[in-house]
Amino acid sequence: MEAIFSGLWALADPMLLLLIVLATLGGILVGALPGLNATNGVALLLPFTITMEPIAAIAVLTTIYCAATFAGAVTAILINTPGTSASATTCLDGYPLAQRGEAGRALGMAAVSSTIGGIISVLCLMAAAPLLAGAAYKFAPPEYFALTVFGLSMLASIGEESSIKSIMSGAFGVLLATVGIDLLTTVERFTFGMNELTEGIGFVPVMIGVFGIAELLAQAGQLGIVRERITLRAIQLPSKADYQKTWKAILRSSGIGTFIGILPAEGATIASMIGYNEAKRWSKTPEEFGKGSIEGIAGSEAANNSATGGAMVPTLALGIPGSPTAAVILAGLMVHGLRPGPTMFTEQSTFVFAIFWSMLLVNVLFFFVGLFGARIFARATLIPLTILWPMVFLFSIVGAYALDQSMIDVWIALIFGVIGYLMRRYGFSVVSLAIGLILGGMLEKRLGQSMVMLDEQWWLIATRPLSLFFLVLTVLALAGPFLLKQLKTLKS
């Protein structure tokens, strides 16, 4: 209880509150811009938070995450183009409502359901924190190693096309994590005589490259696309009839989103799809879905926003990102010297609860900003891509250089921008690469510590109950899709 109030007290700093408000506005702007999303926004802002205090830095990044996820509904409803992938299902009913002249009603429902979903997920996160803290003293290097292996196994579920390609992308990320001098053996690896690489490849320039510059290259092929835009007159709160029709869908999707967010590597996009499908399944008027159903908007938006809070559970408690954006936030934690894991809830409880309170605050803020400022943010959809993306490119280069004032970081960002673009084009997951890079360093470190602890007898890792538990989960995660496929084949 003391940690809860100390975390709240940490937010009493007027400068921190101002940063959260500005980050909320910036996050909504990022989410409302077609082509940009929460992951891009957090990756681009990450190098500029290096000089901040840890609480301020991570609070700003999580604020961008929450606000941008909500703001994706603005473009989904007004121009039938989701501002973020998590709002793709919102297009199905939001745009038809807008075409009927009910854009204000659709955005009002999006704001309400997003706020409720976000608040519920953060409250669940706060309630779960004491349970996570109890596990802190049961984790030693072997347990962390097995947990990291389990996290890497979840990469198989990230890719949209091929699990094998996702695992290959993750393995490439792990390989990148080995660049530099091994701290245990002092052996220099893959530096090719370049002194700048002796400390390894930094998280930040890679994140800027694969999420920012790669997106720029992808969007360059869409410069000729003309999007139809609906005129927005005014936002209106849902009516009593709307609440009566949607409250079950909002609560159901909030629970679904929180649960999906907790699963490593899933995130808001999958949550919104499941939330939408369940809203349709339980609706009394499923025939309205896809034609302008207010329940469809409620189910989609409550799910994707509740997933943001859920995604921070494995990120903070286990050091395994719960979504692509959480992977970038995890890189931010590590850049600031913070060690994600069960011990964070005991050793840095004030920091953890300060982040929880900041997420709760931003969910309240974007409700009011969404209602009263949506008309202003909707104008962001008018910015020509020929102006927007050169600005994003400039911001990316400045961000990469600002980290260490090193040109090598700029080259890394540019190279990985091209790599990220090619990976997306041929069906490889850039998210898997980013997570592999982050977890690869942790994997090697924990393995080395385990070998020292167990006197080089690596097989003893499997004799420890928690380690064995995570290793079994790893086998199930990797073999599960194949076994399910075989069972379906036998049944058919």
Residue 419: the pLDDT is 93
Question: For residue 191, what pLDDT is reported?
Answer: 83
d(CA 36, CA 415) in angstroms, rounded, equals 20
Q: Report which listed range, 33-42, 225-234, 275-284, is most confident.
A: 275-284
pLDDT reported for residue 392: 74
**Which has more confidence, 247 or 340?**
247
196 near 324, Cβ under 8 Å? no
pLDDT digits (tens, 9 = 90+) for 161-199: 577 888 888 889 889 988 888 777 778 888 887 887 888
* CA 443 from centre of chain: 21
pLDDT, tens only, 295-306: 999 998 998 888
Task: Output the pLDDT for position 418.
Answer: 92
CA angle (205, 206, 211) in 5-degree steps? 105
Helices (H) then strands (E): counts for the chain:
20, 2
Q: Is the pLDDT of residue 231 over 60?
A: no
- CA–CA separation, 280 and 289 (whole Å): 7
What pLDDT, on the 0 to 100 scale, is given for residue 422? 92
Q: Using CA atoms, how far apart are residues 439 and 437, in angstroms rounded to an integer?
A: 6
| pLDDT category of residue 225 using cuts at 50, 70 and 90 | low
pLDDT band at residue 226 using 50, 70 and 90 as cut-offs: low
DSSP H helices in 79-140: 88-99, 103-134
In the chain, what are the domain boundaries? 2-225+239-491
Mean pLDDT of 259-281: 76
Average pLDDT rounded to a whole number, residues 403-408: 78
Segment 363-380 mean pLDDT: 71
**Residue 264 pLDDT class (50, 70, 90 cuts):** low
Per-residue pLDDT tens over the stretch 426-465: 888 887 888 788 788 878 888 888 888 888 888 888 888 8
Give the span between the Cα atoms of 412 and 141, in whole angstroms.
31
The pair of three-digit structure tokens given for residue 41, joined into one six-digit string: 């926004």
| Span 113-124, pLDDT tens digits | 989 998 998 888
pLDDT band at 416 (very low <50, low <70, confident <90, very high): very high
- Average pLDDT (360-375) is 78
pTM for the whole structure = 0.74
Q: Provide CB contacts within 8 A for 438, sequence distance 6+.
A: 173, 177, 203, 321, 327, 330, 331, 334
Name the pLDDT band for 157 (thresholds 50, 70, 90).
low
**pLDDT single digits (tens) 32-86:** 776 677 887 888 888 888 888 889 999 999 999 888 888 878 777 877 666 666 7
Specify the pLDDT at position 277. Answer: 83
- Among 203, 189, 164, 194, which Cα is nearest to 442's? 203
Question: Other CB atoms closer than 10 Å to residue 41's CB: what's the count?
Answer: 29
Residue 159: what pLDDT?
Answer: 53
DSSP E strand stretches across 330-433: none
Averaged pLDDT for residues 333-355: 81
